Chain A
Amino acid sequence: MSVPDTKKTPLHDIHDDLGATVTEFAGYLMPLRYGSETAEHQAVRTSAGLFDLSHMGEIFLTGPQAGAALDHALIGHLSALAVGRARYTMICDAAGGVLDDLIVYRLAAETFMVVANAANARTVLAELTKRSEGFEEATVDDRSDAYALIAVQGPKAQGILAKLTDAALADLKYYAILPGKVAGIDALIARTGYTGEDGFELFVSASDAVPVWRAVTEAGGDDLRPCGLSARDTLRLEAGMPLYGNELTAETTPFDAGLGRTVKFDKPGDFVGRTALAALADKAPERTLIGLVAQGRRVPRHGYDIVGSDGTPCGFVTSGAPSPTLGKPIAMGYIDAGHAEDTDLTVDIRGKNEPVDKVALPFYRRTP
């Protein structure tokens, strides 16, 4: 496999100036943290954080058949989405395995923006292109390099952005999007995020990323802190949100992940994965995604075995980290259906079985 050159986002020099620790992620050099990742995490929970997410893929489907093409390509019912609204959905293979989880925004009657994980953007583009072939009046266009994505997340996000835009932020619902100007620059302003907090995601032209970042930084002042991927991961984990590559893989179905509600069997036409997913829909899944809180201080991490009360492995950890909010290690993982009622679980942490409590997800829910 050839190793492509590592890409930089339009905000790379800013991260450098801020002294970020950078890491390669999905082919991009991304900020892992700027200082203390715990402080970044807490800033989002209590005030506001600023994220560069320009590595994410933006794929546009346009034309009279764009909605129908997405209904066929994805498991969701996107043609029914109202203009200005967004939906969390997935693209599956014929066996029902998840190829990526996505947010689809309907920007206009015949314009949809599909936001894909960076690591999967090429796969998603290839699949959308292939799956749209039967829809002559739908055009697939990769605009990932044309867009930068800047997220402002946290309870003070709206107040900070309100200083920079006349857009009706207070009226913008969760999972909705509207075009507007931020600091005088054209942006698509979405009330979406991956942190468990209120917040916004700003899609701007790549060439406008630096001035938008600077304007938000200035407007946020001491209430806003730049945040890296490390904080993003602990924030989404506390919020019980799946991460592709961890909770979701091509070997995982939406039902395994507890996301069966995103499969819309009642939409018109056939869709990729329908037959396989329909066969799974009425059966109890062979495994389920659960939340774990460690009783001790050692951290159950990705790939560690979950061990049942009978002493045998009955699952595996998909994500784990010390939770800044709970002050304890938390994890998500898959457990075999036969152990669903097992309350005496441990995790094999480097050779020693450490006791964990099974808990309902999410670990953290913001107070409205």
Chain B
Amino acid sequence: MSTVPETLSYTEEHEWITEPAEGVVTIGITAYAADALGDIVYVSLPQEGASVEAGEPCGEAESTKSVSDIYAPVTGEVVAVNGSVEEDPAVINADPYGEGWLFKIRKDGESPDLLDAPAYSKLIEEA
């Protein structure tokens, strides 16, 4: 059973988002998504400084069997990108909620509706 930390919010695209700290949220993919993809061999992430829009693809993750879009869960500006997962994407499989974070966005406006941990747990149980 994949872990779903209580303190995070989630999207239906299997990404997690932290609570904003001074307007900045951190984003990654869930343990469920990492397990489903298998070994991630390559990620492309948005550039620092890029403007991203909630729900729009802004990167991709390649695994042995498939490629998946990475979506911006909120609108805003990318203020940090995790270079170490670009170097070694296996970190995402090993620690999806920690060292495997992907990028940070300075939010612009309100967040769209996100799932809380119980709602996301229900989503992946039904998947």
Q: Footprint of B on A, CB under 8 Å?
A: 21, 32-33, 36-38, 230, 234, 297-299, 301, 321-322, 329, 350
Q: Assuming A297-B42, A297-B62, A298-B62, what are 16 further A-B pairs, CB within 8 angstroms?
A: A21-B38, A32-B65, A33-B38, A36-B93, A37-B38, A38-B64, A230-B38, A234-B64, A298-B42, A298-B67, A299-B41, A299-B62, A299-B67, A322-B42, A322-B62, A322-B63
Counting contact residues on chain B (CB < 8 A from A), the size range is 10 to 19
**Chain B positions 20 through 53: 1 when the CB is less than 8 Å from some CB of chain A, otherwise 0:** 0000000000000001001101101000000000
CA distance A38 to B42 in the complex (A): 13
Contact across chains for B64 and A321 when beta carbons are under 8 A apart: yes
Contact across chains for B39 and A38 when beta carbons are under 8 A apart: yes
Q: Footprint of A on B, CB under 8 Å?
A: 35, 38-39, 41-42, 44, 60, 62-65, 67, 93
Q: Which of B42, B64, B67 contacts A37 (CB 8 A)?
A: B64
Contact across chains for A230 and B64 when beta carbons are under 8 A apart: yes
The answer to whether A299 and B39 touch (CB under 8 A), given A37-B64, A234-B64, is no
Which among B41, B44, B64, B67 has the greatest number of chain A C-beta atoms within 10 A? Answer: B64
A165 to nearest B CB, angstroms?
A: 33
Query: Closest 7 interchain pairs by CB?
Result: A322-B41, A297-B42, A38-B39, A299-B62, A37-B64, A36-B39, A37-B38
Contact across chains for B64 and A301 when beta carbons are under 8 A apart: no
CA distance A161 to B63 in the complex (A): 33
Closest to B94 in A: A36
Q: What are 14 A-B contacts defined by CB distance under 8 Å?
A: A21-B35, A36-B38, A36-B93, A37-B38, A297-B42, A298-B60, A298-B67, A299-B42, A299-B67, A301-B67, A322-B62, A322-B63, A329-B62, A350-B67
Q: Which residues in A have their C-beta under 8 angstroms from that of B62?
A: 297-299, 322, 329
Closest to B89 in A: A297
Q: Which residues in A have their C-beta under 8 angstroms from that of B39?
A: 36-38
Which among A32, A37, A322 has the greatest number of chain B C-beta atoms within 10 A? Answer: A322
Q: Which residues in B have their C-beta under 8 angstroms from that of A33?
A: 38
Closest to B38 in A: A37
Q: Which residues in A have their C-beta under 8 angstroms from that of B38?
A: 21, 32-33, 36-37, 230
Q: Which residues in A have their C-beta under 8 angstroms from that of B64?
A: 37-38, 230, 234, 321-322
A324 to nearest B CB, angstroms?
A: 8
B70 to nearest A CB, angstroms?
A: 13
Q: Which residues in B have their C-beta under 8 angstroms from that of A36?
A: 38-39, 93
Q: Which residues in B have their C-beta under 8 angstroms from that of A301?
A: 67
CA distance A298 to B93 in the complex (A): 18
CA distance A156 to B27 in the complex (A): 43
CA distance A230 to B67 in the complex (A): 14
Q: Which residues in B have their C-beta under 8 angstroms from that of A321?
A: 64-65
CA distance A62 to B60 in the complex (A): 53
Closest to B42 in A: A297
Closest to B63 in A: A322
A103 to nearest B CB, angstroms?
A: 25
CA distance A299 to B68 in the complex (A): 12
Q: Which residues in B have their C-beta under 8 angstroms from that of A297?
A: 41-42, 62
Q: Which residues in A have their C-beta under 8 angstroms from that of B44?
A: 298
